[in-house]
Amino acid sequence: MNLKGRNFLKLIDFTSEEIGGLIDYAAELKRDKKNGVDHTDMHRGKNIVLIFEKTSTRTRCAFEVAAHDLGISATYLDPSCSQIGKKESIADTARVLGRMFDGIEYRGFGQEIVEEIAKYSGVPVWNGLTNEFHPTQILADFLTIREHFGRLKGINFVYMGDARYNMGNSLMIGCAKMGVNFTACAPSAYFPDKKLIDLSLSYAKESGASLHFIEDPTEAVKGADVIYTDVWVSMGEPAEVWQERIEALGKYQVNDRLMAATGNPDCVFMHCLPAFHDTKTETGAKVCEKFGRTEMEVTDSVFESKASIVFDEAENRMHTIKAVIAATL
Ligand code: CP
Ligand code: NVA
């Protein structure tokens, strides 16, 4: 597999062999790291820039640690400190950064922004989350599922909640490409865009995956191996939408009853994180004060249960992002 010089903007751009290859490579790099194998010679002397127009813990740290492990120096641009979009256009910024850096990570708003950076910079560009897609997260999710179940193909994967945003979209495409049976469970207004569903159905035909869109939670989770959820209000959305989301998505909360409804005692719980499973965050406390809910998309009981593999998943962000950087630079 040769991905040198390629961008990593969305899973649509990659074949199932390439996605599988990146997951294999991440597993190898993870093993090496645990065994103390040094890879700082691999890309020694290179420089990458990390643009974050939205906040981050996992993605930023994963890029920085991965870069360090590969001998690369990383420059972080936070949401307020650069000229991007305010005093300088995306195309101009991309051309400047492309002259100084060997690779560019972008986290921010519309997918068209990261695509434009890729068009103008002349160096590999990696999508660290846009409104539409979060492709590096899916690599980590799939590595975690593979470690846990020993395979991806044939796994029954259920996504609960807002399925028309970055996580729902990317998971649907990834599952369809990799032969994972995907169910989106939400009110129909929260299902992914019809065009994206049609595209995913065409991938599913090739891979053998089945795709389902179900409104009833109990019906959707029957036989699930993985239940996945994400926050009900994503970064960049106004606080006013909390009310409508709580009303629309409240019954899609992942709780003990829902886990039991799978009928599968080995079903695992996953979440890209951060998660609102208690009131120990500023937002969690505010939402609790306003709406009287102490838990949102997942209960504390499920989050802290043996079924929850969210911290393995979070660790795998680093190993998979390392694979993407190492393979494309
Ligand atoms: N899952 C994820 O992207 O986390 P961060 O927002 O902390 O980067
Ligand atoms: N849908 C979430 C994902 C966070 C990793 C958001 O965009 O905020």
Please answer whether residues 275 and 303 qualify as being in contact, where contact means their C-beta atoms are separated by less than 8 angstroms. Answer: yes
User: Which residue's CA is the closest to the ligand 2 atom numbered 7?
Assistant: 234
The dihedral built from the CA positions of residue 139, 143, 145 and 146, taken in this order, carries a sign that is positive
* 137 pocket-lining for ligand 1 (C-beta < 6 Å): yes
Six-digit token pair at 187? Answer: 């009110």
Nearest Cα neighbor of 125 from 285, 275, 284, 328 is 328
User: Which residue's CA is the closest to the ligand 1 atom numbered 7?
Assistant: 57
Expressed in angstroms and rounded, the spacing between residue 26 Cα and the centre of ligand 2 is 23
Find the farthest-apart pair of alpha carbons in the chain and give their distance in angstroms, rounded.
55
* 114 pocket-lining for ligand 1 (C-beta < 6 Å): no
Six-digit token pair at 99? Answer: 């002259």
Q: Measure Cα distances from 317 to 61, 138, 164, 272, 327 in Å.
A: 9, 9, 22, 10, 15
Please answer whether residues 213 and 182 qualify as being in contact, where contact means their C-beta atoms are separated by less than 8 angstroms. Answer: no
Expressed in angstroms and rounded, the spacing between residue 293 Cα and the centre of ligand 1 is 23
pLDDT at res. 80: 86
Which residues neighbour 223 within 8 Å (Cβ) at sequence distance 6 or greater?
156, 262, 263, 264
Which residues neighbour 25 within 8 Å (Cβ) at sequence distance 6 or greater?
1, 323, 326, 327
Expressed in angstroms and rounded, the spacing between residue 232 Cα and the centre of ligand 2 is 9
pLDDT at res. 100: 98
Which residues neighbour 147 within 8 Å (Cβ) at sequence distance 6 or greater?
27, 312, 316
* Structural domain boundaries in the chain: 11-133+317-328, 156-224+226-263+268-306
pLDDT at res. 35: 98
All residue ranges of the chain with pLDDT < 70 are: none
Write phi, then psi, for 117 (nearest 5 degrees): -60, -45
pLDDT tens-digit series, residues 150-173: 999 999 999 999 999 999 999 999
The CB-side HSE value for 307 (13 A sphere, CA atoms) comes to 26
The dihedral built from the CA positions of residue 285, 277, 230 and 115, taken in this order, carries a sign that is positive
- In the beta sheet, which residues pair with residue 160? 185, 229
User: Which residue's CA is the closest to the ligand 2 atom numbered 1?
Assistant: 234
- How far apart are the C-alpha atoms of 100 and 209, rounded to whole Å? 43
- How far apart are the C-alpha atoms of 46 and 63, rounded to whole Å? 14
**pTM reported for the whole predicted model:** 0.98
Expressed in angstroms and rounded, the spacing between residue 162 Cα and the centre of ligand 1 is 17
Atom of ligand 2 nearest to the CA of 56: 5
Expressed in angstroms and rounded, the spacing between residue 270 Cα and the centre of ligand 1 is 14
pLDDT at res. 95: 98
- Our mutation pick for probing the ligand 2 site, out of 131, 167, 232, counting the most ligand atoms within 8 A of Cβ, is 167
C-alpha 281 chain-centroid distance: 21
Q: Does the fold of domain 156-224+226-263+268-306 match that of domain 11-133+317-328?
A: yes
User: Which residue's CA is the closest to the ligand 1 atom numbered 4?
Assistant: 58
Which amino acid does the sequence have at 307?
A
pLDDT tens-digit series, residues 307-327: 999 999 999 999 999 999 999
210: left (phi over 0), alpha (psi -120 to 50) or beta: beta
List residues with catalytic annotation. 107, 134, 137, 230, 272, 317
CATH fold group of domain 156-224+226-263+268-306: Rossmann fold (3.40.50)
b/e map 242-278, b = 16+ CB within 10 Å: beebbebbeebbbeeebbebbebeebbbbbbbbbbbb
- How far apart are the C-alpha atoms of 125 and 116, rounded to whole Å? 10
pLDDT at res. 249: 98
Looking up tokens 């179940």 gives 149
Ligand nearest to the CA of 61: 1
What residues are in contact with ligand 2 under a 6 Å CB criterion?
A: 129, 134, 165-167, 230-231, 234-235, 272
Which amino acid does the sequence have at 110?
G
C-alpha 116 chain-centroid distance: 21
Atom of ligand 1 nearest to the CA of 136: 3
- How far apart are the C-alpha atoms of 153 and 180, rounded to whole Å? 5
CATH number, span 11-133+317-328: 3.40.50.1370
Work out the number of other CB atoms within 10 angstroms of the CB of residue 328.
20
